[in-house]
């Protein structure tokens, strides 16, 4: 528990200049100040507002001690809020680009809108939060899948 507190305090210092509070928890933490990267492993959880990211490994890339990209692997799952809707997602790799405010899910990508149970499934899903756009890509001519209910 003390180790988690130390990790949290170190990360809080790194993200102190962020506009929004970010909380990061993990069992193991490695910081390379020279290359501005952090590697967290073991039950990783990142909270930013109502958004939550869970994985077993997370690499945070920084520039001038500010996070610019998160890459989560090994059982990557997330919950995000967009326009008063809750989305759950998962995939082999999850990339969040802070500057562009985009999410990219690679490999076994799936997003579910909780309220309507709409699903997007493919090899890659890109969500642009600023423009409210979604792109689903499939490899090897496999179809992408969009699941929704129609009221009759």
The encoded tokens of residue 7 equal 């990790």
The encoded tokens of residue 49 equal 């507002």
The pLDDT of residue 46 is above 60: yes
Across 112-120, average pLDDT = 87
Residue 4's pLDDT band (boundaries 50, 70, 90)? very low
Across 18-40, average pLDDT = 86
The pLDDT of residue 143 is above 80: no
Residue entry with tokens 């130390």: 6
Please choose, from the candidates 71, 78, 105, 103, the residue with its C-alpha nearest in 3D space to the C-alpha of residue 91: 105
Cβ count within 10 A of residue 27: 13
What pLDDT does residue 5 have? 34
Residue 28's pLDDT band (boundaries 50, 70, 90)? very high
CATH class of 22-147: mainly beta
pTM of the model: 0.75
Residue entry with tokens 């590697």: 39
The pLDDT of residue 16 is above 90: no
C-alpha span between 63 and 152 (Å, rounded): 52
- Which segments of 1-152 are extended strands (E)? 22-25, 28-32, 37-48, 51-63, 66-82, 85-97, 102-113, 119-128, 133-137, 145-147
The encoded tokens of residue 52 equal 């939550």
């Amino acid at each position: 528990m003390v180790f988690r507190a130390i990790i949290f305090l170190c990360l809080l210092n790194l993200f102190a200049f962020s506009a929004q509070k970010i909380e990061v928890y993990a069992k193991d933490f490695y910081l390379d100040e020279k290359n501005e990267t952090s590697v967290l492993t073991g039950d990783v959880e990142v909270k930013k507002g109502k958004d939550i990211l869970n994985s077993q490994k997370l690499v945070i890339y920084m520039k001038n001690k500010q996070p610019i990209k998160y890459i989560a692997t090994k059982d990557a799952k997330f919950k995000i809020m967009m326009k008063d809707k809750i989305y759950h997602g998962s995939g082999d790799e999850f990339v969040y680009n802070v500057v562009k405010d985009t999410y990219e899910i690679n490999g076994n990508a799936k997003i579910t809108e909780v309220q309507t149970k709409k699903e997007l499934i493919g090899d890659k899903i890109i969500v642009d939060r600023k423009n409210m756009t979604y792109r689903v890509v499939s490899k090897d001519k496999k179809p992408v899948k969009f699941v929704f209910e129609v009221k009759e």
